[in-house]
Amino acid sequence: MSYQVPKFRHPELPVNDLGYTKADYEGSISTLCAGCGHDSISGAIVMACHELSIEPHKIAKLSGIGCSSKTPTYFLGKSHGFNSVHGRMPSVVTGAAMANRDLLYLGVSGDGDTASIGMGQFAHVARRNLNMVYIVMNNGCYGLTKGQDSATADEGSVSKKGDPNVYSGIDLCGTAMQMGATFVARSFSGDKGQLVPLIKAAITHRGFALIDVISPCVTFNNNPQSTKSYEFVREHAEATGTVDFIPMRKEITTDYDPGFSHEVTLHDGSSIHLYKMDETHDPFDRRSAINTLEDHRSKHSILTGLIYMDKDSRELHEVLETSQRPLNQLEEGDLCPGNKMLENINASLR
């Protein structure tokens, strides 16, 4: 059940160029677990759209199924939203974008939605270079079905059940680059300072823009060593049968200088390495971007920031040479050739 956000706002909230406050970009109150990384990403989306002064109703937000796909309810309340079918958000966005090229298409997906059931659609929407922002809220597990490993979980990582994951994890950034994505970035939900500018860059990019955002699951992605936390969750889950009673946890935030590798402790006590590219990295060179990505992967560190961008990208509407006027605004006169032509066709069929 969604709640309405209280209408009360500070009277002197800063406004953007359109005269909108940040509140004009917010949605309903989140029903995700308290402290969920996804909520930080929603906040970053709100901030990015506000700072870019995009009219909220000129955005269409679409998602698939899963925890991540619930989030479009929690931001951009004045935009049309579409919570579609598991793994099939890319096709719905493709159709929507074909119908009206003037809107901004923001797709939100998770790692199950994108890397498993929707892998095919993800690959092909990247390949078609559809003009959209594709944000993956990547927590390496299936939250709504209680924590199974997802396809992005790294090999050897320990699930809630205690079994190490035996399959290699899919690197969505690497996959997207192989498929022809023209904007590829990775970030961390706790790093708003990095994420907001990346979202702004992705919105600005004309073509397919992927941001793979690592977003820890506070409820199910626990390290087995963190027994206190693990036992706590298990006891409460058994008692209530729901996940809504997880107590508030402090969100992880990180702030670090470019050019350094950082160890960030997650909710469950495990750590990931974050590495920000230094100034010498050229995100406009595809081959070096793939190499850099691979280098970091082999060192078990997670490369974040803008990884690759094709500045000369030609998005799908350009490839298909569709009319500048949105197709959904064309009328009978533009579309229907009339009876005269039909008579000619008839004549050719006799």
Partner 1 sequence: MKRIESVNDFVIKFANVNGTGSASANNMFAKALFRMGLPVSPKNIFPSNIQGLPTWYEVRVSEKGYLGRRGGVDIALSVNPQSMAQDIREVAPGGYFIYDNTKPLDLRLIRNDVTIIGIPLTQICNDRYQDPRQRQLFKNVIYVGALAALLDMDFKVLTNLVQDQFKGKEKLVLSNIQALELGNQWARTNLECPIGIRVQTSDKVGDKILLDGNTALGLGALYGGATVAAWYPITPSTPVVDAFEKYARRVRIDPGTGRRNYAIVQAEDELSAIGMVIGASWNGARSFTATSGPGISLMAEFLGLAYFAEIPTVLFNVQRAGPSTGMPTRTQQSDILACAYASHGDTKQVLLFPGTPKECFDFGALAFDLAERLQTPIIVMTDLDLGMNDNMSEPLAWDDDRTFDRGKVLTAEQLESGIEFGRYMDVDGDAICYRTYPGAHPSLGAFFTRGTSRDEKAVYTEKGEEYEENMLRLMRKWDTIKEYVPAPEFVPSGRETDTGVLYFGTSEESSREALDYLAEEGIYMDAMRVRSFPFNDEVKSFIEEHKRVFVIEQNRDSQLRTLLMAEFEFGPDKLKSVLCFDGTPISARNIRKQIKMHLDGNNVTPLHRNAVATGAGGSK
Binding-residue pattern over the window 110 to 139 for partner 1, x denoting contact by CB under 8 A: ----------xx-xx---x-----------
43 HSE (CA, 13 A, CB side): 16
Q: Rule CB under 8 A: which of 257-286 touch partner 1? A: none
What SS3 state is found at 330? coil
Nearer to partner 1, 104 or 303 (CB): 104
Angle at 72 between CA 68 and CA 77, to 5 degrees: 160
Q: Does 95 bind partner 1 (CB under 8 A)?
A: yes
Query: Should residue 35 be labelled a site residue for partner 1 when binding is judged by CB under 8 A?
Result: no
150 Cβ contact list (under 8 Å, min separation 6): 110, 111, 112, 115, 116, 139, 140, 141, 142
- For residue 229, state whether it binds partner 1 (rule: CB under 8 A): no
Q: How far apart are CA 173 and CA 87, in angstroms?
A: 17
Q: Kindly indicate which of the ranges 55-63, 108-116, 217-225, 257-265 contains the residues binding partner 1, using the contact rule CB under 8 A.
A: 55-63
Residue 79 engages partner 1 in binding (rule: CB under 8 A): yes
3-state secondary structure 263-290: EEECCCCCEEEEEECCCCCCCCCHHHHH
Question: How far from 275 is each of 123, 178, 180, CA to CA, in Å?
Answer: 26, 22, 24
15 touches partner 1 (CB under 8 A): no
Token pair of 293 as six digits: 């990505």
Applying CB under 8 A, among 9, 58, 228, 300 the residue interacting with partner 1 is 58
Q: Is 83 in the site for partner 1 (CB under 8 A)?
A: yes
330 binds partner 1 (CB under 8 A): yes
For position 336 contacting partner 1 by CB under 8 A, the verdict is yes
Q: How many residues bind partner 1 (CB under 8 A)?
A: 62
In whole angstroms, the minimum distance from the beta carbon of 13 to partner 1 comes to: 17
Nearer to partner 1, 97 or 274 (CB): 97
Q: Given candidates 37, 43, 77, 110, which one binds partner 1 under the rule CB under 8 A?
A: 77
Q: Output the smallest distance, CB 162 to partner 1, in A.
A: 33
240 binds partner 1 (CB under 8 A): no
CB of 119 to partner 1, least distance (A): 11
Distance in angstroms (rounded) separating the CA atoms of residues 96 and 181: 19
CB of 279 or CB of 321, closer to partner 1:
321
248 vs 347, which CB is nearer to partner 1?
Answer: 347
Separation CA 305–CA 194 (nearest Å): 7
Token pair listed for 342? 């039909």
Look at strands 80-83 and 59-63 and give their pairing: parallel
Alpha carbon distance, N-terminus to C-terminus of the chain: 62
For residue 208, give both structure tokens.
């397919």
Give the C-alpha separation, 316 to 191, whole Å.
Answer: 32
Tell me the window of 58-66, 160-168, 217-225, 251-259 that interacts with partner 1 (CB under 8 A).
58-66
Give the H or E element holding residue 134. Answer: strand 132-138
Q: Does 13 bind partner 1 (CB under 8 A)?
A: no
Among 32, 45, 97, 106, binds partner 1 (CB under 8 A): 97
- Specify the residue for token string 């399959």: 167
- Chain residues that interact with partner 1, rule: CB under 8 A: 1-2, 55-58, 60, 62, 72-73, 77-85, 88, 90-100, 102-103, 120-121, 123-124, 128, 316-317, 320-324, 327-328, 330, 332, 334-339, 341-343, 345-346, 349-350
